[in-house]
A and B are shown apart, each in its own frame.
Chain A
Amino acid sequence: KQEVTQIPAALSVPEGENLVLNCSFTDSAIYNLQWFRQDPGKGLTSLLLIQSSQREQTSGRLNASLDKSSGRSTLYIAASQPGDSATYLCAGGNQGGKLIFGQGTELSVKP
């Protein structure tokens, strides 16, 4: 059974810092891994999707990596901004489409 864990649960950084959010999963037979952003009281916005055959994906200041052998994914945010403050969720997917979510990392970027 797939379990997804995110560390840390909360993170506070000053504006401009580069930061890394961590995600680990127990089942290496993962089909894909997706990172989402959730603002308070809002839905989830998809940030990056990494297929099992890929090692990383990049979008603007965001870079996500996937290491199936170690059961880990990271989300790297470069030059953080106050607008990046949100909860970041990773989710591991199987081939049938089922996504298992981590509990999220609540990020606060201070001006």
Chain B
Amino acid sequence: DAGVIQSPRHEVTEMGQEVTLRCKPISGHNSLFWYRQTMMRGLELLIYFNNNVPIDDSGMPEDRFSAKMPNASFSTLKIQPSEPRDSAVYFCASSLETQYGYTFGSGTRLTVV
């Protein structure tokens, strides 16, 4: 298995632009999580899906952030419009039932200038 695949690996964009981050979970996993990591705040859960349904989006910072999971093999996290304070590493993770733990992707490093 190729693991959790995220794209792009790096994204540099100008303030105000729309940014879309993509994630392909491990085949067969039924839960998907989006995290953001910064030096100041560490790892924060933004949103997670179970069987493609959003379960908890209380970590989504603002209405500028939205996430979708149209099918079991694909999810997107969109920021529109982007701001410099959104600069962070965004991780996607998936799991097959929580008792088996998480597998993380390599992350997308977002820089908004």
Binding site for B on A (CB under 8 A): 31-32, 34, 36, 42-46, 49, 51, 89, 91, 93, 95-104
Distance A51 CA – B43 CA, assembled complex (angstroms): 21
Binding site for A on B (CB under 8 A): 31, 33, 42-43, 45, 48, 50, 55-56, 91, 93, 95, 98-107
Q: Cβ of A100: which chain B residues have Cβ within 8 Å of it?
A: 45
Q: Cβ of B107: which chain A residues have Cβ within 8 Å of it?
A: 42-43
Q: Closest residue to A94 on the B side, CB-wise?
A: B98
A46 touches B98 (CB 8 A): no
B93, B98, B106 interface centre (most CB from chain A within 10 Å): B98
Distance A34 CA – B93 CA, assembled complex (angstroms): 14
Secondary structure class of chain A's binding surface, majority of residues: strand
Distance A46 CA – B101 CA, assembled complex (angstroms): 8
Q: Cβ of B95: which chain A residues have Cβ within 8 Å of it?
A: 97
B98 touches A32 (CB 8 A): yes
A32, A43, A46, A97 interface centre (most CB from chain B within 10 Å): A97
Distance A40 CA – B94 CA, assembled complex (angstroms): 21
Distance A95 CA – B48 CA, assembled complex (angstroms): 13
Distance A49 CA – B99 CA, assembled complex (angstroms): 8
B42 touches A99 (CB 8 A): no
CB distance from B18 to the nearest CB of A (A): 25
